[in-house]
Amino acid sequence: MATTSPPKGSYGFIGLGNMGFGMAKNVRQKMPASSKLLVCELVQSQRDEFCSAVEGDVEVARTPREIAEKCDIIITSLPNAAAVKKVFLDPSTGLLSGCPKDKAILFLETSTIEASASLEVLDAVKSSALAASFLDAPVSGGIPPAHAGTLTFMVGGPEDVFEKARPIMATMGKPENLIHCGGPGAGLATKQINNYIAYCSYVALCEGMNTGLKFGLDPKVLNGKTDVINASSGQCWNSLHMNPVKGVLPNSSASRDFKGGFKTELAQGVTRQMTKLMEEVGAKSVFGPVMDDVWARAVESDLCKDQESRSIWRLFTEEDGKLLGKTKIE
């Protein structure tokens, strides 16, 4: 689908972390040259690095309130629901404390948080910023696509607002991967379901690869560049890109000894978001308790904590899997 150029105006970006840094960089590169970008980030080293690395008109804002006072388009990329609520709702420094009721600000909230928390923020926006628009627009792809501008956006909110935001999202993501998922909260629910399925499939891949190794199978035949799993019905995103056995897939996190990338603690958070969502809507869950248990063990283990999340492979292989205990479904 053809995408028009991003609109003129003042842009604000809050959160220059692992994902936000690359996203904000692409916004500045692709937004109108005459427009100004204001950034707000708690960590000074991140602010300084961004300002020195990015060309174009960039100004540092001291608080989210200052962003709201000066910007027409505001993008947030934050680590958790508590941070999102503080950025929007803090009575002294938050976005809504400085947002005029009659100013038609577009809020593009790209953090991966609970849908219920996002809906709480949306209600506050509706109450205090009457002319503003709000989309929950979590992203998928990881840090390299954030820098490359090839993310996928899963978006919840009014369709007309989605279309208005499309050219802005296209500065950070693939135009064909800007997906309107439904009304408010739908983007986050979709993201949580996607994350959960991906991690369930990775746990299954760990079990399969560990079984294959113990049986004496060649892991590169089982799941390598030319392999059985990816030529058969077991194929999934992780089997294509993230085999846990070092040396099988050269670009997997296993080949970096699970350094960098999406950490175990963050994976536990997104998995818990999904199990909470299943509870909230009354959906039957079979794997949920097992997944919660796996990640609870991972964040306490020296083999996995503060490592890339797919380091949970080590729980299957070290000490003959005893670190995983005897979790079962009742």
Q: What is the pLDDT of residues 91-136, one digit of tens each?
A: 999 999 988 888 899 999 999 999 999 999 999 999 988 899 999 9
Is residue 191 among the annotated active site residues? yes
Q: For residue 31, report the phi and psi dihedrals to the nearest 5 degrees.
A: -75, 165
Mean pLDDT, rounded, for 269-282: 94
Percent of the chain whose pLDDT exceeds 70:
97
The reply to whether CATH 1.10.1040.10 applies to domain 189-324 is yes
Q: Mark out the alpha helices in the chain (DSSP H runs).
A: 20-30, 44-53, 64-70, 81-89, 115-128, 143-148, 159-169, 186-215, 219-223, 237-241, 264-281, 288-300, 313-317
Residue of 191, 246, 263, 328 marked catalytic: 191
Can you name the CATH fold of 11-184? Rossmann fold (3.40.50)
What is the pTM for the complete model shown? Answer: 0.89
Give pLDDT, residue 144.
87
Which helix (H) or strand (E) is 179 found in, with range?
strand 173-182
pLDDT per residue over 138-153, tens digit each? 999 888 899 999 999 9
Torsion of the alpha carbons at 251, 257, 263 and 264, rounded to the nearest 10: 120
d(CA 170, CA 172): 5
* In the chain, ranges of CATH 3.40.50.720 domains: 11-184
| pLDDT-based confidence at residue 260 (cuts at 50, 70, 90) | confident
Give pLDDT, residue 90.
96
* In the chain, ranges of CATH 1.10.1040.10 domains: 189-324
